[in-house]
Amino acid sequence: MNDRVLIVGGGRGIGRAIADDCGDRAVVWTRSTGVDAADRSSLDAAFATFRRQHGAPWALVHTVGDFAEQPLLGTDAATWSAQQRSNLDSVFHTIQAIVPAMVEAKRGRVILFAAAGADKQKAMLRAPVYFAMKAAVIQLARSLAAEVAPAGVTVNVVAPGLIDHPHSHRDSQARMLPRVPAGRLGSPADVVAAVRYLLAEEASYVTGQVLTVDGGLQV
């Protein structure tokens, strides 16, 4: 039975750590491998090849999402469009391209990525557009979870806080670190552990949830 874990955006940072943890089961799609997650035609072409070789994936993990730290009134239209394309359009197109095959197979796990605090009803002055996109991802995930649960497919969201990796935003993290009750930045391994749980058999009855990994930042 196919146990492939299709990781969209697994070329660096958290996505790369997840891919490394999945080992031989991981299939990684990034722009460098010729797949643009915000381009439906690119996804369709890549998935047609994948499906011929492997069938429907056991799991889909979407980690794409650029960060922009700007106040709302200081955000120009180009930044808005880029944030939407990276954080929201890529999720929508990936779901549309791949999840129907998982529903047909009547099995599988979908894991999307948001950000710690994106599910809270409060102002996000640090990066309002980014958090708005991630809030939309959470809503899509919850709706999708209800839609595909009868087919045996679970859908959950991992919401990392301040995670230290080579491509993280160090200045922003340094400003926010004093607010983290755990007193440290998270590591990719902290996030990988959450993903590993959601992929495990023990999580087969967990769906439509947001698993926050932030050292207590949003408590």
pLDDT in tens, 119-138: 999 999 999 999 999 999 99
Which pLDDT value is given to residue 166? Answer: 86
Residue 160 falls inside a structural domain: yes
Which pLDDT value is given to residue 168? Answer: 86
Residue 110 falls inside a structural domain: yes
SS3 192: helix
**79, 94, 135, 163 from 71: Cα distances, Å:** 11, 29, 17, 22
Which pLDDT value is given to residue 167? Answer: 81
Residue 108 falls inside a structural domain: yes
Looking at the structure of the chain, the number of domains it has is 1
Residue 177 falls inside a structural domain: yes
CB proximity list for 92: less than 8 A, separation 6 or greater: 140
d(CA 207, CA 111): 10
Give the residue from 5, 56, 54, 7 showing the smallest Cα distance to 33. 7
Residue 216 falls inside a structural domain: no
Give the residue from 103, 132, 105, 104 showing the smallest Cα distance to 117. 132
Q: Domain of 80: which CATH number?
A: 3.40.50.720
Which residues are the active-site residues? 130
Residue 46 falls inside a structural domain: yes
Which pLDDT value is given to residue 1? Answer: 60
**46, 91, 109, 193 from 144: Cα distances, Å:** 22, 12, 12, 23
Residue 219 falls inside a structural domain: no
Helix extents (H) in 23-116: 40-54, 77-84, 90-105
Residue 217 falls inside a structural domain: no
pTM attached to this predicted model:
0.97
Its domain, for residue 107, covers: 5-211
Residue with tokens 């949830």: 209
Q: Low-confidence residues of the chain, pLDDT below 50?
A: none
